[in-house]
Amino acid sequence: MAKTALITGCSSGYGRAAAELFLEQGWNVVATMRKPNPDVFGKGSDRLRVIAMDVTDEASISRGVNDGIAAFGTLDVLVNNAGIGHFGPFEAVAAATVRELFETNTFGLMAVAQAVIPHMRERGAGTIVNVSSSVCFAGMPLVSVYAASKFAVEGFSESLAFEMSSVGVRVKLVEPGYGPGTSFQVNSADRMGGAVPPAYQAYAGQLLEVMRNPGLVTTARQVAEGIFAAATDETERLRFPAGPDSEQLAQARWHGSDEEFRAGIRERFRLKPR
């Protein structure tokens, strides 16, 4: 009998790639998005249901989870992928933008997990895969609010993994690397709104120049493969770096001193503290 995964944020990027990979592997997929559009997956499948879910709306989450369970009878895996980005100096970030990032990236993820956990607990089985970011290995410059929202996901997931193991449910973290051209850049630009204070313009310009030639990068398919590996892993492993740049950062963070690692980041971005 085919297993079932519910994946949030499937309209594009990592969520869509993950949904496609699970389908390729013979899984049933409940692909959720704020505005359901089955056309993003091309040819339809009787193993695919596209369902409305806004992770910032409690009623929408409840309907989406219930509809997903009704579609295939059970949920074996939850992939908490929905998220939004931000790039810019913290000094210029509006309080409303801070709240918007946490509402989606952190509180929304927690709310969906809380809605699914009773179903998995009653079954005594299931896996929750929370998508965070490689910024949790390296708090990169000019993404402080985004990083904060994702660091919170890491702490939440590590703690949750211990308590869920008592009822037979696994919790995993997937940490995607930098993917130029993804929806992260698009929605980051929308929230940044061109608001870089003069004191930071040269600094931001230098960082953006480095990011135009990032070297190792991550593709949506690589993230999808990381998500699938986490979803099907039966060990106690918690963290799954996804993409060559994320894997490189993880190894540097885990195997070097904090001073050495931070010096490497400064060198990478040509940063000189005043």
| 138 burial level (CB within 10 Å; 0-12, 13-18, 19+) | buried
150 included as an active-site residue: yes
Q: Which residue out of 14, 133, 144, 150 is catalytically annotated? A: 150
Q: Which residue out of 11, 12, 60, 62 is catalytically annotated? A: 11
Q: Which residue out of 134, 146, 149, 183 is catalytically annotated? A: 146
Give ∠ CA 206-209-214 in degrees, rounded to 5: 125
178 included as an active-site residue: no
Across 205-267, the runs of DSSP E, i.e. the strands, are 239-242
188 included as an active-site residue: no
Stretch (H or E) spanning 259: helix 258-268
**Long-range CB contacts for residues 12-16, cutoff 8 Å, separation at least 24:** 12/40, 12/183, 13/179, 13/182, 13/183, 13/184, 13/220, 14/81, 14/131, 14/176, 14/182, 14/220, 14/223, 14/224, 14/227, 15/79, 15/81, 15/82, 16/40, 16/41, 16/220
Q: Which residue out of 3, 14, 132, 178 is catalytically annotated? A: 132
144 included as an active-site residue: no
Rounded to 5 degrees, φ, ψ at 4 are: -125, 135
Active site residues: 11, 132, 146, 150
